[in-house]
Structure formats: C-alpha cells, structure tokens
Amino acid sequence: MEQRQEALEFQLRQQSESQRIPAEEMEMLDGVEQLLKECQELLDSSDQAEDQAREDPQPWSGEPDTLAA
C-alpha cells in the first residue's frame, strides 16, 4: 500500500513538472505578447488615420505630378 502511494506521488510530481513552463520560455512568450500588442496598436492607429483621411479629404493642390521623361 505504501509503495503504491509513493508511486502515485511520484507520478503526480512528474506530471506537474512536465506541465510547468520554464522561466526563460515565459520571458520569451511575454516579449512576444508585448510585440503583438504593439503591432495591434499600430494597426488600430493606422486604421483610425485612414478613416479620418476618408472623412476629411485634403484639398487637391492643383499642381500636376510631373514625371521625368
């Protein structure tokens, strides 16, 4: 009975250790998460700028674009 209990405790420890994420990997994942948040903020701000540009178009300058021939 005691051996069975020890075997179960050992098995439980192995399972919990295998499910733990190493600190180095957690730091890397946190960095990736931060980069994703920053990218999302950039996308959101560019979407807002595009929406505003559609709502308030800039007047045309009247000068044609010239291309070098």
Tokens representing residue 57 in the block? 């178009």
Residue 48: in which H helix or E strand, if any? helix 23-55
The model's confidence at residue 22, banded by pLDDT at 50, 70 and 90, is: confident
Q: Answer whether residue 69 shows pLDDT above 60.
A: no
Is 16 or 69 the better-scoring residue by pLDDT?
16
Residue 39 phi, psi (nearest 5): -65, -40
Residue 21: CB partners within 8 Å, gap ≥ 6? 29
pLDDT greater than 70 at residue 9: yes
